[in-house]
Structure 1
Amino acid sequence: MLRDEVWDEAVRAVRGDAHGLVSVRDDVLGRWSEAHRGYHDLRHLDEVVDALAELRDGAIDGAIEWASVVFAAWFHDAIYDITTAAENERRSAELARTALSANGIGIDVVGAVVALIEASEVHDVHETRGPQAVFHDADLWILAAPVERFDDYCADVRREYAAVPDEAYAQARAAILAPFFDREAVYRTAHARREWESAARSNLRRELSRLG
């Protein structure tokens, strides 16, 4: 599975040993498998990893940058609690800092991973290549997914927030999605703008219309 392959590659790049961090990997996978998750589950992790691989050529320089975005992908929603949603990115970033630092990952890589995860809270990235741009676009790939998958994503997010009344949910969800639609471009990298932008705008338009 690509998810495991890129994890091993990232570990080799920063430690020289593909068998390291096994307990860390298993702990993170367990977190992504929690029963309360709807969209933010292992399928989302796999889709982000697939998107990273698609964006890698031409936007990532070297094994260390690649390792940083891979670790960021694995950790970015490792903590996902809708009751404290505003803290999820910060707590996931701190989990990454603690777990990676405790297992011999250098401060430069750990700092890059933490910064990538924290930036995912607002998705306000201006670079058009490099780890920030690639991680931003990969995390938002779902906006450009085929129609059936995009609609499943919308339903899965709604399921995560099933306790929220419909009107309040619609207002809050539209407030999250509308800024992406209002941007000059949803994506930052040249590849994503060329290959994903049109589909993302179509999907966002439909969902914003449904939210009313």
Structure 2
Amino acid sequence: MPNASLNPEKVWRELAGNYTSDQELIETLWQELQQNYSEQNRHYHNLNHLSFMLEQAKRYEKQLKNPDAVTFAIFFHDIVYNSSQTDNEERSAALAEKRLLELTVPEATIMLVKEAILATKTHALHLNSDINFLLDFDLAILGTDWETYQAYAKSIREEYAHVPEEAYKAGRKKVLQHFLAMPRIFKTPIFQTLLEARAHHNLQAELQIL
């Protein structure tokens, strides 16, 4: 996993503080985020993953039209995560809407956050450029160096520890082939230029190992 130097709690407090002065509410919502992302079954979809995505968002902030919406979507996109369930994105989006209403975030921003979270289910090209950036932040791990990628793949396997080896390999191969069959893994030109070739190399290398 990449070095996660950005502090999610600090980012959360600053972001939420733009919408409410209720420090108790900000603290309560942070505790919920921290607790969920620190669940025992989370070997990859955890606070380190949040930090990694938040660093991407900070780096490309000037390219974002609504950076607050993208940052909120990062915080909530995996708030509900159970590897044995298929409705994590829908449940995460619903919880995001509930919590952002408590923060008095504008409705248009909340709708964008929900749409962005739901888009992480398929990672299909979106008409909204901010959502495309979020999707690329989420998959940027695929285009990292081989050692980092291997650590990511190992963490994903650990999240599916309940799945027998042969069944996991079959399922993982389908996931890898799904990404490789996409016209482009990354949706924004900048990420395509930076990471597309490396991501293809990593995915194909993992396929050969499985």
**Partners in 2 of 1:68 and 1:41 — Cα distance?**
20
Q: Deviations over 1:191-212 (max 9, x none)?
A: 211111121111111112222x
Equivalent residues in 2 for 1:200-211 (5 A)? 200-211=199-210
**Partners in 2 of 1:18 and 1:73 — Cα distance?**
22
Equivalent residues in 2 for 1:35-74 (5 A)? 35-57=40-62, 59-61=63-65, 65-74=66-75
Following TM superposition, the consecutive aligned residue runs of length 4 or more in structure 1 with deviations greater than 6 angstroms are none
Equivalent residues in 2 for 1:10-159 (5 A)? 10-13=15-18, 15=19, 17=21, 19=23, 21-57=26-62, 59-61=63-65, 65-84=66-85, 86-127=86-127, 130-159=129-158
**Partners in 1 of 2:115 and 2:21 — Cα distance?**
25
User: For the structure 1 residues 27 and 79, does the alpha-carbon distance in structure 2 shift closer, same or farther, using more than 3 Å as the test?
Assistant: same
Q: Deviations over 1:173-200 (max 9, x none)?
A: 1211212212232111122111111211
Q: CA RMSD in A?
A: 1.9
Moved more, 181-190 or 148-157: 181-190
Moved more, 4-13 or 145-154: 4-13
**Partners in 2 of 1:108 and 1:24 — Cα distance?**
21
AA of the residue aligned to 1:113: V
Give how far 1:70 is off. Answer: 0.4
**Partners in 1 of 2:180 and 2:130 — Cα distance?**
23
User: For the structure 1 residues 75 and 124, does the alpha-carbon distance in structure 2 shift closer, same or farther, using more than 3 Å as the test?
Assistant: same
Q: Secondary structure at the match of 2:183?
A: coil
Number of matched residues? 204
Q: Deviations over 1:18-69 (max 9, x none)?
A: 9562321221111101111111111111111112223333x212xxx10111
Q: 1:8, 1:18 within 8 Å by CA — same for their partners in 2?
A: no
User: For the structure 1 residues 126 and 118, does the alpha-carbon distance in structure 2 shift closer, same or farther, using more than 3 Å as the test?
Assistant: closer
AA of the residue aligned to 2:137: A
Q: 1:68, 1:112 within 8 Å by CA — same for their partners in 2?
A: yes
Q: 1:56, 1:134 within 8 Å by CA — same for their partners in 2?
A: no
Q: Secondary structure at the match of 1:83?
A: coil
Moved more, 180-189 or 19-28: 19-28
Q: 1:45, 1:74 within 8 Å by CA — same for their partners in 2?
A: yes
Structure 1: gaps spanning 5 or more residues: none
Instruction: Report the identity percentage.
Output: 28
Q: 2:20, 2:103 within 8 Å by CA — same for their partners in 1?
A: no
AA of the residue aligned to 1:157: I
